[in-house]
Amino acid sequence: MERQSADGGFKSNISTGGRGTPFALPPAMAELAVRVASVLDLEVAGVDVLFDGDGYRICEANSSPGFQGLESACRISVPDEIFSAMARKFRLPYGAPPSRWQRAVRTMRQTLGGRRAA
């Protein structure tokens, strides 16, 4: 998503009144954000990219980002996307709503040999 400040200033955080809108990432920007998360060894990350006169640059990467603005702007469920990505990564079955959370947790527990998942 692209964030814009409420007052035209530099800071565009959703928590301070900024507004998020859907944004189609250019492939090179998406690859850069994925590389940043990978270098930081983050499975889930918020990577802030700033536009400048020469294109764009990384501003920061957040290991525990807030997703309310992203969910609202892009009409997605971040937890559903994370569960789906982890299911693909670990080749686990992942069912349809409404019981997919319960099945995913049950499958992970079984896969882990009965140990409790945190």
d(CA 26, CA 66): 23
Q: What is the pLDDT of residues 83-114, one digit of tens each?
A: 888 888 888 877 655 456 667 777 777 787 65
Q: What is the pLDDT of residues 1-41, one digit of tens each?
A: 999 999 988 889 888 899 999 999 999 999 999 999 999 99
Beta-carbon contacts of residue 67 (< 8 Å; ≥ 6 apart) = 46, 78
Coil, helix or strand for 58?
strand
- Name the residue with tokens 């140990």: 115
Average pLDDT value for residue range 44-61: 92
80 or 104, higher pLDDT: 80
Contact of 98 with 87, CB cutoff 8 Å: no
Instruction: Give pLDDT, residue 100.
Output: 66
What burial class does residue 74 get, using C-beta atoms within 10 Å of its C-beta: 0-12 exposed, 13-18 middle, 19+ buried? middle
List the chain domain ranges.
Answer: 1-76, 77-118
d(CA 47, CA 29): 10
62 has pLDDT over 60: yes
CATH architecture under which domain 1-76 falls: 2-Layer Sandwich (3.30)
Among 83, 61, 67, residue whose Cα is nearest residue 20: 67
